Amino acid sequence: MKRIALLVAACLCCAAAMAASVCGRVICDGAPVAGVAVSDGVSIVLTGDDGRYAIDSDKSGGYVFVITPSGYIVRSIDGLRPGFWQPLYLPAEQEEIHDFVLEKQDQSRYTVIMLADMHLSNDPARDDLNRFANEVMPVIRRVAAASPGPVYSINLGDTTHDIYWAEFNFNESDGLRLLQDLNYPTPLYSVMGNHDHDPSVVGEDVDRRAGWRERDCWGPGQYSVNIGDDHWIFLDNIYYVNVEGKGKKAPGVRGDRSYNCVLTEEQFAWLEKDLSLVDENSRIYICTHCPVLFSGRDSGLLMPGKQVKRLYSLLTPFKNGTTVFSGHIHRNDIVDHPDYPLLHQRSCPATSGIMWTTPIGWPLYGSDGSDAGFWVGEYASGTAPVYRLETYLYGEKYFRFYDLNEVGAYYRASEGVKRQQELYSDTRMDYGQKKWRNHVMLNYWGWEPGDTVEMYEKGKKLKVENTRYEDPTKNIAYELPRVMNPYKHSSKSSRDVTYHMYAAKTSSAKTPVTVRVFAADGRLKFEKTFQRPYSFDPSKP
């Protein structure tokens, strides 16, 4: 606390003394608010007793923004976006004035809806805009209306889909307008995704220039917000490369849309300043598009180890720990890592499932075979947060049970599987083979670190294996249409893996199987008995 007090005093003195190219006031109910942090993405200053701030800024970040203090929200721009940022539009040597209006809010208890990878594209073959409006939005409205305290939403990137911006005349600005037209029910904070960049921009300084439209819609590439006892940080960890002349050819696309999952030196420098103003007892939440930690350890899907270590070193003073929320991988992936005991990663499922590619009329599925949906977090002073997964058709749902006798029958009758096996018999899984007879599987996408899965047949405990098997629903809903209709999309030769898949062999085809899931502390989380034969049809809810 002493450290923070000294920093506050120093910032107040600086704010009063420096020459300012950016200045203004922060007020609430017409009165000044002192001690509010304001930043240009490089420097951070605090408002004085008169609510005024002054930054000697080179304006390289292009924005000035308020680090919203606890107990307030910044007045909305349009009923959707909190107005915590304003663009800087004059040359660096010219002064410009930007005021911010706060509104008081009781944040002792609040709720956050976590959206990721909406991938709105206006593709008539996927009918994504109608499906979002009619399948997803009613669930968001229901959750928002039923949640205690103020409700916020966080968009973890890939609001739209860059490769279709020109083809279907739907870019990031159109995605914003759709949410406005649908009267999205909560304030929405966002971070940049790889598909939120303008693919027509190539060449020098491409990361900054290609992200202009997303920042114009959603604000700066790094910012933070205090809500209740918690400090929320939003970081753009997608560094766009877009090598000209390479990659998929599509209207308006000039490069390969490549990127790196990293933070820049400027972001690290700003983050260190931001965290220096945060009480060490605060809980820290970081929102990024690309995961920081990922159980699969797949190359290109998470930040480099050196950067993770550097980030962690900035977070170690906060003994209540840090949770990172990310999207990008289109699956549920909840990770702890022994090297980073104070860091917890929650990768969220895609709002779009697998980019709306499930056949129209089918349920939406994620790339791990999960039912598409979003995580909801409930936060309250003095208590640990509580999370739940909301799916569009079933509400809370965390697993799917497979009777591989029934799955095998479906596979053997499927023309798509036959074609897939003709092309990739050495690499794709075929659940129609005899070796899978009398096996059962559980895709437990709600898995948390320390959870265990047990299965019983006639009261006898079965040997359960945590496998890396492919989810059959995902294969049928996503891979097989690509095999049968490869006009736009190439089919995949290698099987996908599901890290939260559990398998066991039973003694017969007709005996029921009871599944029990236990938390790390031994608490029974779920128990359900499945009668067999247990039907399988991914086209039906």
- For residue 356, give both structure tokens: 């709306």
Same domain assignment for residues 92 and 124:
no
Same domain assignment for residues 325 and 229:
yes
Same domain assignment for residues 362 and 337:
yes
302 or 85, which is more confident?
85
Q: Per-residue pLDDT tens for 411-463?
A: 999 999 999 999 998 889 999 999 999 999 999 999 999 999 999 999 999 99
Q: Is the distance from CB of 236 to CB of 280 less than 8 angstroms?
A: no
Total structural domains within the chain:
3
Q: Where among 341, 365, 396 does a domain terminate?
A: 396
Count Cα neighbours of 277 within 13 Å in the Cβ-side half-sphere: 28
Residues with Cβ within 8 Å of residue 430, at least 6 apart in sequence: 411, 417, 421
Lowest mean pLDDT among 72-81, 286-295, 300-309, 375-384: 300-309
Return the pLDDT at 299: 44
Same domain assignment for residues 353 and 448:
no
Return the pLDDT at 173: 98
Same domain assignment for residues 141 and 51:
no
**DSSP string over 37-66:** EEESSS-EEE--TTSEEEE----TT-EEEE
- Residue 10 scores a pLDDT above 60: no
Q: Are strands 222-227 and 399-403 parallel, antiparallel or unpaired?
A: unpaired
Count Cα neighbours of 217 within 13 Å in the Cβ-side half-sphere: 26
Q: Residue 128: which domain range? A: 109-396
Rounded CA-CA distance 173/505 in Å is 52
Same domain assignment for residues 434 and 368:
no
- Residue 323 scores a pLDDT above 50: yes
Band (19; pLDDT cuts 50, 70, 90): low
Rounded CA-CA distance 162/256 in Å is 11
- Residue 16 scores a pLDDT above 60: no
Largest Cα–Cα separation, the chain:
81
Give the residues across from 442 on adjacent strands: 401, 502
Mean pLDDT calculated for residue range 67-95: 96
Same domain assignment for residues 14 and 115:
no
Q: Per-residue pLDDT tens for 492-538?
A: 777 778 999 999 999 999 999 999 999 999 999 999 999 999 999 99
CATH code of the domain containing 269: 3.60.21.10
Return the pLDDT at 489: 62
**325 in any annotated domain:** yes
**252 in any annotated domain:** yes
Share of the chain above pLDDT 90, in %: 86
SS3 assignment, position 465: strand
Q: Per-residue pLDDT tens for 174-192?
A: 999 999 999 999 999 999 9
Same domain assignment for residues 81 and 130:
no
Does an H or E element contain 422, and which? helix 415-424
Same domain assignment for residues 202 and 321:
yes
Lowest mean pLDDT among 243-252, 342-351, 391-400: 243-252
Nearest to 187 by CA among 75, 353, 53, 285: 75
Integer angstrom CA distances of residue 337 from 291, 295, 331, 340, 377: 13, 9, 18, 5, 22
Mean pLDDT of the chain: 93
**535 in any annotated domain:** no
**58 in any annotated domain:** yes
Q: Per-residue pLDDT tens for 183-242?
A: 999 999 999 999 999 999 999 999 999 999 999 999 999 999 999 999 999 999 999 999
- Residue 291 scores a pLDDT above 80: yes
CATH code of the domain containing 488: 2.60.40
CATH code of the domain containing 7: 2.60.40.1120
Same domain assignment for residues 131 and 269:
yes
Return the pLDDT at 472: 96
Return the pLDDT at 302: 77
Q: Is the distance from CB of 518 to CB of 452 less than 8 angstroms?
A: yes
Rounded CA-CA distance 492/126 in Å is 20
Q: What is the DSSP letter of 501?
A: E
Return the pLDDT at 417: 95
Same domain assignment for residues 123 and 77:
no
- Residue 473 scores a pLDDT above 50: yes
211 or 483, which is more confident?
211
Q: Per-residue pLDDT tens for 254-284?
A: 999 999 999 999 999 999 999 999 999 999 9
**537 in any annotated domain:** no
Mean pLDDT calculated for residue range 381-392: 95
Q: Where among 45, 69, 103 does a domain terminate?
A: 103
Same domain assignment for residues 153 and 253:
yes
Q: Are strands 96-97 and 22-28 parallel, antiparallel or unpaired?
A: parallel
**94 in any annotated domain:** yes
- Residue 318 scores a pLDDT above 50: yes
- For residue 39, give both structure tokens: 């930043």
Band (2; pLDDT cuts 50, 70, 90): very low
Burial class (CB within 10 angstroms; exposed 0-12, middle 13-18, buried 19+) of 181: exposed
Return the pLDDT at 14: 43
Lowest mean pLDDT among 181-190, 252-261, 326-335, 479-488: 479-488
- Residue 487 scores a pLDDT above 70: no
Q: Per-residue pLDDT tens for 130-141?
A: 999 999 999 999
Q: Where among 103, 132, 153 does a domain terminate?
A: 103
Ramachandran category for residue 328: left, alpha or beta (phi over 0 → left; psi -120 to 50 → alpha): left
